[in-house]
Structure 1
């Protein structure tokens, strides 16, 4: 019953966030957007035993929440975008560590990225193409910041793929799909901000972001059940 109510809550939160974005209702966005990660944190705590709580998971969730809040104010000053980017960088690195854990606990030499390194090439090409598309629109500092973030983001998605065979298929599928949606969401942010305007960009960005965080937390909980 509790989980059913939680799922109703995330549907309501998603509708409010997307409505606020579509109708450009700032006060509703300020209220609803932080609820995305507050829901994720609450759902994780509700469905995870105290002795199974992962510090890096909670760090990732917390900095995603901070990033969400900071990015809401980027129109007021560009520094909020930089701070938001930094917060999500911590989030991505923390996710990367969480996703690597089941692989490192066993034999990394048998992982998909070691046995079939051409999969890594896909992520490198994607990151390189994305950075190249934005390169000429970025100032020197932003080039460095975006490059570092793009590297961390794609590394996070790559480590999500690397979990295959180390966790149950359901946990792997949820987290890998979530990581790809996260990759798409943040790619859309960069393209829309630095390259060209995407129609209804906010809807696409927030929709894929909410789905990404939802799938990731579901996948992490499923991993706990598998043990």
Structure 2
């Protein structure tokens, strides 16, 4: 039983319910708790809490937490949040390639190149001064997806959900007329799943390498 992940699951469910209900105070309370709960799960579940895997995965989660605290509407807060998430993705990319890779990137990961080109073409006319940061961030996301495809299915799935979440965020913030019912809930659902599944995949791989019994 994956007890270390239970607090993250509970906080995530409460947060999503708050988003759906429009309970802004509860949203503001639970959002900063998500990544600390996941970091706790990571540290409790990893067989070795020191080393490159723990450091890089921890940085991915930490920068996600700083991004959560900074991300606001388009403006300085949004740019700062984007920068933190970009750093988190870079930490994950290094982790995937150096510690978790089990094969070459899969052929189907070429879809991330097409996704990047398509999303940039859609958002570029409306991005204004944010075009360069968005292009750099999108490129990093594409590399995240490609490197994750060389890892376990858990890691690959988590990275794909990250791409979905950030794509929805970009469309919601920059594309005029974009209308998705409960867009904020969809963005947070895919984000919470992305971070959680990546962390779960990291733990499973680390335990397999250390020959520690699986959590599930």
Q: TM-score, normalised by structure 1?
A: 0.83
Is residue 211 from structure 1 mapped to residue 210 from structure 2 by the alignment? no
Question: For residues 31 and 188 of structure 1, do their structure 2 counterparts lie closer, same or farther at Cα, with a shift above 3 Å needed?
Answer: same
In structure 2, what is the Cα distance between the partners aligned to 1:8 and 1:62? 19
Determine which of 97, 102, 124 is the counterpart of 1:100.
Answer: 97
Corresponding residue number in structure 1 for 2:10: 12
CA contact (8 A) 1:191 1:197 kept: no
Q: Spell out, residue by residue over 1:150-201, the C-alpha distance to the aligned partner (whole angstroms, 9 max, x if none).
A: 00011011100022xxxxxxxx011111111111000000011111132210
Q: Pick from 154, 173, 178: which aligns with 2:142?
A: 154
Q: What is the CA deviation profile of residues 32-64 of structure 1, one whole-angstrom value per residue up to 9, with x for unaligned ones?
A: 012211111000111122334532221111100
Matched, 1:87 2:84: yes
Closer, same or farther: CA 103–182 of 1 in aligned 2, 3 Å: closer
Cα distance in 1 between the residues matched to 2:89 and 2:118? 20
- The answer for the alignment partner of 1:166 in structure 2 is none
SS of the aligned residue for 1:198 comes to: coil
What is the match of residue 167 of structure 2?
A: 187
- 1:59–1:94 Cα contact (<8 Å) kept: yes
Where does the alignment leave 5 or more consecutive residues of structure 1 unmatched?
A: 164-171
Contact 2:172–2:179 at 8 Å: present in 1 too? Answer: yes
| Equivalence map 1:59-70=2 (5 Å) | 59-70=59-70
Q: State TM-score, norm by structure 2.
A: 0.87
Contact 2:70 2:77 in 1 (8 A): yes
Deviation at 1:7, TM superposition (A): 4.0
Q: Which residue number corresponds to residue 104 of structure 2?
A: 112
Structure 2: gaps of 5 or more residues = 210-216
CA pair 15-119 structure 1, distance change in 2 beyond 3 A? closer
Q: How many residues align?
A: 205
8 A Cα contact 1:92 1:156, kept in partner:
yes
- Residues 24/78 of structure 1: CA separation in 2 closer, same or farther (3 Å cut): farther
> For each residue in 1:74-113, what CA deviation from the matched residue of structure 2 results, as whole angstroms up to 9, or x when unmatched?
24x7211111000000011110000001377x8xxxx433
Residue 168 of structure 1 corresponds to which residue in structure 2? none
Tell me if structure 2 keeps the 8 A contact 1:20–1:28. Answer: yes
CA–CA separation in structure 2 for the residues paired with 1:133 and 1:67: 24
Is the counterpart of residue 23 in structure 1 residue 11 in structure 2? no
Query: What's the counterpart of residue 213 of structure 2?
Result: none
